[in-house]
Amino acid sequence: MSTTVYCRYFQRRAASSEPESVAFPAEMRSHLDVLIDATSASLDNLGFGTLPTGLYEYYRRTDQQILEEIREKNKRRKEEVGKQVEQESSGRTLY
């Protein structure tokens, strides 16, 4: 049975965080929302059903809502990485 030994000179890299900025300006998102609504209505009229707009990250959301979601995702990522590091380091010798 082999065990992994970590050297003190190597550190686990944290998962990349998403930049805390809004990717699209509000005016562009508003225009995209109108296009999504029109496409969804057209598909529904043709019998295909509507688009799953609830799954779209930027659909009908304000800058504040988008930033809050990004911060929450980054917080969860940081917590997950911390838990993984704790699990990996427990029971192992670190130099």
d(CA 86, CA 6): 13
* 56 found inside a domain: yes
* 31 found inside a domain: yes
- The parent domain of residue 52 ranges over 26-89
pLDDT value for 88: 73
Name the least confident of 62-66, 67-71, 79-83.
79-83
* 72 found inside a domain: yes
Q: What is the pTM of this model?
A: 0.65
CA 88, distance to chain mean position in Å, is 24
Q: List pLDDT tens digits, range 17-33.
A: 788 889 889 999 999 99
pLDDT value for 1: 46
